[in-house]
Structure 1
Amino acid sequence: MKRATLVNWLLVLAVVTIAAVPLVFIGGEFGGADGIAAERIAADHPDYRPWASALFEPSAEVASGLFALQAALGAGFLGYYFGVVRTKRRLRRESDAPDGEG
């Protein structure tokens, strides 16, 4: 097995492990930091009133869709970036190769 193939499989294993371990060991519902922060503020300062409010409060389905769209755009950007870098590197390597080898 090539070294690059081994590294790729080890990276996939690491990503799966990083994603699975919290799901296994955190039993229960994961609410995120926003809910915990709001509860803590309410407990520490019961007379606190927010000075700003959200302009748009989407439903849970819309919020989930917007999050998925954000993730897709980020993944597309990263994929494009790494593709450009890889192509530039390949073209540079081909242009630096002696005639007849590239």
Structure 2
Amino acid sequence: MKESKKTNWMLIILAILIVVIPLVFVQGEYGGADGMASEEIETLNPGYEPWFESLWEPPSGEIESLLFGLQAAIGAGAIGYIIGNWKGAAGKKESK
């Protein structure tokens, strides 16, 4: 029992370090891949015209981040639900 608690705490500390270390040691603004791609396209082909425009542009970056986080949370919940169902079904088969 104590070994399990020790392992859990070590994993929690490791997860915190994985998040905090890049924030402390990597200076500058964190940008998305979309912005970097559009900058690269502009340098390679200055006259490039996009094929289409977005249907709806969020009013601010905060709302865009909120929607992105919500999308990630819904996806993680769906994946967790599916894996949980598979685990539960497998456990029921073994107990019979």
Following the alignment from structure 2 to structure 1, what is the Cα–Cα distance between the partners of residues 2 and 66?
40
How far the C-alpha of 1:4 sits from its partner, in A, is 6.5
Give the structure-2-normalised TM-score.
Answer: 0.73
The CA deviation string for residues 3-37 of structure 1, in whole angstroms up to 9 with x for no partner, is 77666556545544443343233211101111111
2:25 alignment partner AA:
F
Q: Which residue of 2 aligns with 1:78?
A: 79
- Larger radius of gyration between Structure 1 and Structure 2: 1
Percent identical: 43
When normalised by structure 1's length, the TM-score is 0.69
Match of 2:20 in 1: 20
List gaps (5 residues or longer) in structure 1. Answer: 96-102
Counterparts in 2 of 1:32 and 1:44: CA distance versus 1, 3 Å: same
One-letter amino acid of the structure 2 residue matched with residue 52 of structure 1: F
Moved more, 15-24 or 73-82: 15-24
Query: How many residues are paired up?
Result: 95
